[in-house]
Chain A
């Protein structure tokens, strides 16, 4: 589990570019039917500058897909195999499109110790405020993770 002294700590920042192929493949795997996720012409016909980000695309840039961040948590006492995703929320401030560059520094926004039937565990909240290449706040990403204790 993570020492409570790390509350407020940030990681990164990490910078990613939203790629067309990432959007297409992600949308396809989820079965999103809208053509705007696959076809630039369809996106433009809908008045969009490029392929839009599916609602959960930011997960491709978040904790689960970021080996460097996973390694940081591991070194703080929260290895991947003791993490369980409890909740996820996104607040959308500015639309994200293919070609955008997002930069975010995930922060430990919450760290609560709980006692369960199978022993103590921690509830870790990671918040990332992703800004685009123009410096605009694009997405606030909050992920609540259960960190299982050693005996669980």
Chain B
């Protein structure tokens, strides 16, 4: 977690690149989240849906983006967190997750920060994009 005071508009947030995503990871996410949609765990269902096999839960990708948001603030300081799922994430994808500060302003005497977030595949395609609004903890 970094101090709000050190950020400027345009700064990139510390990001990371995932290991290649695997069907096994999708299976663990299904159990952890309770989302047992077979689209994410049964290759036959994924093929029937035209994906050529299983695809990742969108919420797994949003969960990975939440790690970037966590660099910005500690728990409790997030105000809003939005994600748009742009294209399917597949096994073998390595996601580069990152973000950039888009606005810093004062509201009700507290500092607010807004950032855009992205999850980009190894082919350069944006799998998901998002935004986050955070407020500095009370001092």
* Closest CB in chain A relative to B75 CB, distance in Å: 4
Contact partners of B34 in chain A: CB under 8 A: 60, 64-65
Interface residues on A, range: 20 to 34
Instruction: Choose from A26, A31, A52 the contact partner of B64 (Cβ within 8 Å).
Output: A31
Interchain Cβ contacts within 8 Å, total number: 108
User: Among the listed stretches A5-13, A83-91, A103-111, which one makes contact with chain B, having 4 or more residues with CB under 8 Å of it?
Assistant: A83-91
Instruction: Choose from B25, B29, B57, B81 the contact partner of A55 (Cβ within 8 Å).
Output: B81
* Closest CB in chain B relative to A91 CB, distance in Å: 5
- Taking a contact as CB atoms under 8 Å apart, the answer to whether B83 and A87 are in contact is yes
- Taking a contact as CB atoms under 8 Å apart, the answer to whether B80 and A89 are in contact is yes
- Taking a contact as CB atoms under 8 Å apart, the answer to whether A92 and B79 are in contact is yes
Instruction: Choose from B35, B66, B80, B85 the contact partner of A64 (Cβ within 8 Å).
Output: B35
- Taking a contact as CB atoms under 8 Å apart, the answer to whether A54 and B58 are in contact is no
Can you sample 14 A-B contacts with CB below 8 Å? A29-B33, A30-B64, A34-B75, A46-B74, A54-B63, A54-B66, A56-B63, A59-B62, A60-B32, A64-B37, A65-B34, A81-B45, A89-B80, A91-B79
Residues of A with Cβ closer than 8 Å to B? 22, 25-26, 28-34, 36-37, 46, 48, 52-56, 59-60, 64-65, 80-81, 85-92, 95
